[in-house]
Amino acid sequence: MWKVASGVFLGWSLGANDSANIFGTGVTTGTVKYRTAILLTAVFVLLGAILEGPKCMATVKDISSLTAMEAFCCTLATAVTMAVLTFMAIPASSSQGIIGAVIGAGILSGTADFSKLYKIVSCWAFTPLIGIILGYFFYRSLKYLLNKTVNSLTMRNYIYFVGIIIAGSYGAYSLGANNVANVTGIYVGTGILSAETAAILGGVSIAIGVLTYSKKVMMTVGKGIVPLDPFSAFVVVLAEAVTLHIFTQIGVPVSSSQAVVGAVIGIGLSVDLRTVRPKVLAKIAAGWLLTPVAAGILSYLLIILITSGIV
Amino acid sequence: MFFDKILSHDKKEQRVIENIREHIKLLCTACNTFRLGIGKNNRKLINDVAELERKGDSIRREIISNIYNGAFLPYLRPDLCKFVEIVDRVFDLIEDAAFLYLSMEIPEHANREENKASFFMGIPEPVKNECGRVTFLNVRICEMLLITFEAMLKGEDLSEKTLAIRIYEKKIDDIKFNILEEIRKIDIDNFWEGKIVSDFIAAITRVSDIIEDASDHIQIISVSMR
């Protein structure tokens, strides 16, 4: 049972990191208090993980048949890869990390099923693209709708506030539903955990990460993003949430950060503004390639080291 | 606190809006009182301007305190506060102008005995009418600011309103240049007499510039919430 410890650790770091994508701008601009933000995120992440988390678990467990020890190595390799890439300021995705690690372990054991990979990789490519489309669409349509129906300043202020809270809660729900598979989904295939138990355990570990260690990242991410107006901030979170939810229904865990960046670009396109610098896009592309490759190599090496008795 | 904010709908915001409305209305009253005071040479009305300025100060403090107690999104707060501060600067200017008016001496060339009863203060005669026109336009431009503010609250197009304010400002600027030309012809007996007259004219003609800034700020608030 101790072998799920690395998964729980990965969940904790995912919660500490990715919650910034949901309420980061809301907290740093003072729209939502930090305490309110983390409580809402923790509750809805757990809810999403329990209600819809198992949908993505099948994808993770079907890529290759792993033993409990290999699963432990995969989650550990993903956690270490994410920590190193984050330290190098390269955006890393736990979804890509875990898939890369499972492939690495599968290559070693000869059980890797590459036929499933095309679906996963195409979903990764579509994540920022759908983020862009939804960001553009929501910005245009909701703005049109608001301009037609709500003209009062105070009412708009109220709608933006409630909108940010609702979109944030939905974002947290989608994050839990989509990303819990990265954390404990791998253990379902090994038979250590049932899908339901894995969802609860993963959800709780993400929620604990949100509650205990998300402040620093939330402040950094919130202040690092282009200062968005309340309406754009609402649209970004909504587009991210819907993107994650779509991929949850498809059953593929994807990166919430890439969905956010896509949504910000979408808004930039709809108002004819350059919201993301090419340098940032290059960094995201580097992370996109490096995370699965590095996690795959690391899990491969970790398994060799552990199974050969060196460690 | 969080649920309070959701359930109370927009009560805090409505209170702030109501106070800002009252603040601008009070400014209109202050400008009108000043205009009447000058027109009738009435010391009491001129003194009332200072009282209205103090009342305006108190409303400004209440608005800012309510804003920082959680009314409106933090994104909007600095702009709203700045708008209120700009309006308050007009109050200060009108109060300064009132004090300067009260400290004006009757010019040496005027008949002091004849003027004592009804004319205890003196704007130099050659520019008196023009100064009266400026104070009248100041009332109008303040009323226009209130109309612009109301239009912003309803989400209406502000371009015509802000254009009207700019036209008023231009008119006052033109009058100011006339006054400056005329005032050179007036004999001044001492430095302070001249300085007070000059400061008074500068104060009444600057009101429109600041109102124009305030209307620009209304435009910024409107755009930032669209």
Place of tokens 């009207």: B164
Calculate mean pLDDT across residues B132-158: 95
Q: How far is A13 from chain B (nearest CA, A)?
A: 27
Whole domain around residue B184: which residue ranges? 2-224
Task: Compute chain A's Rg from CA coordinates.
Answer: 19
| pLDDT at residue A57 greater than cutoff 60 | yes
Q: Which of B1, B74, B152 lies nearest to residue A153, judging by beta carbons?
A: B152
* Tens-place pLDDT, residues A188-197: 888 888 999 9
Q: CB-based contacts of A162: which residues, under 8 Å, 6+ apart?
A: B6
List chain A residues with CB under 8 Å of B76.
Answer: 157, 230
Reported pTM: 0.84
Name the strand (E) or helix (H) holding B62. Answer: helix B43-68
Cβ neighbourhood burial of B6 (10 Å; 0-12, 13-18, 19+): exposed
Counting Cα atoms < 13 Å in the Cβ hemisphere of A132 gives 10
Q: What is the pLDDT of residue B123?
A: 83
pLDDT band at A226 (very low <50, low <70, confident <90, very high): low
* Tens-place pLDDT, residues A143-157: 999 988 988 888 888
Q: What is the pLDDT of residue A92?
A: 76
What are the structure tokens assigned to A30, written together? 């003072």
Q: What percent of chain A has pLDDT above 90?
A: 43
| pLDDT at residue B4 greater than cutoff 60 | yes
Cβ pairs A/B, distance under 8 A: 60
Quote the CA–CA distance of A55 and A185 in Å, as a whole number. 10
Which of A25-29, A75-79, A242-246: highest mean pLDDT?
A: A242-246
Q: What is the pLDDT of residue B164?
A: 96
Tell me which of B188 and A135 has the higher pLDDT: A135
Average pLDDT taken over every residue of chain A: 87
Query: Considering its fold, how many domains does chain B have in total?
Result: 1
Counting Cα atoms < 13 Å in the Cβ hemisphere of A37 gives 30
Q: What is the pLDDT of residue B190?
A: 80
Q: Are B142 and B31 in contact (CB under 8 A)?
A: yes
Q: Which residues of B150-186 are buried (b: 16+ CB within 10 A; e: fewer)?
A: ebbbebeebeebbebbeebbebbeebbeebeeebeee
Quote the CA–CA distance of B102 and B76 in Å, as a whole number. 40
Q: What is the pLDDT of residue B155?
A: 87
Tell me if chain A has a CB within 8 Å of the CB of B6: yes
A229–B224: do the CB atoms touch at under 8 Å?
yes
Calculate mean pLDDT across residues B177-204: 88
Cβ neighbourhood burial of A279 (10 Å; 0-12, 13-18, 19+): exposed
Q: How many helices and strands in chain A, by DSSP H and E?
A: 14, 0
Q: Which of A143, A147, A158 lies nearest to residue B10, judging by beta carbons?
A: A158
How far apart, in Å, are the Cα atoms of A209 and each of A96, A145, A168, B142?
20, 37, 17, 55
Q: How far is B11 from chain A (nearest CA, A)?
A: 9
| pLDDT at residue B122 greater than cutoff 80 | no
Q: How far is B64 from chain A (nearest CA, A)?
A: 16
Read off the amino acid at residue B123.
I
Please give the residue of chain B at the shortest CA–CA distance from A160: B73
* Tens-place pLDDT, residues A259-272: 988 898 898 888 86
CATH of the domain at B168: 1.20.58.220
Tell me which of B172 and A65 has the higher pLDDT: B172
Cα dihedral value A142, A143, A147, A152, nearest 10: 90
Q: Which of residues 110-149 of B touch A (CB under 8 A)?
A: none
List chain A residues with CB under 8 Å of B222.
Answer: 153
| pLDDT at residue B116 greater than cutoff 50 | no
Read off the amino acid at residue A111.
T
pLDDT band at A274 (very low <50, low <70, confident <90, very high): low
* Tens-place pLDDT, residues B8-64: 667 889 999 999 999 999 999 999 999 999 988 888 999 999 999 999 999 999 999
Q: What is the pLDDT of residue B118?
A: 40
* Tens-place pLDDT, residues A73-125: 999 999 888 888 877 777 778 888 999 999 999 898 888 888 888 888 899 89
| pLDDT at residue B119 greater than cutoff 70 | no
What are the structure tokens assigned to B217, written together? 């700020």
Q: What is the pLDDT of residue B107?
A: 47
Q: What is the pLDDT of residue B27?
A: 97
B221–A153: do the CB atoms touch at under 8 Å?
yes
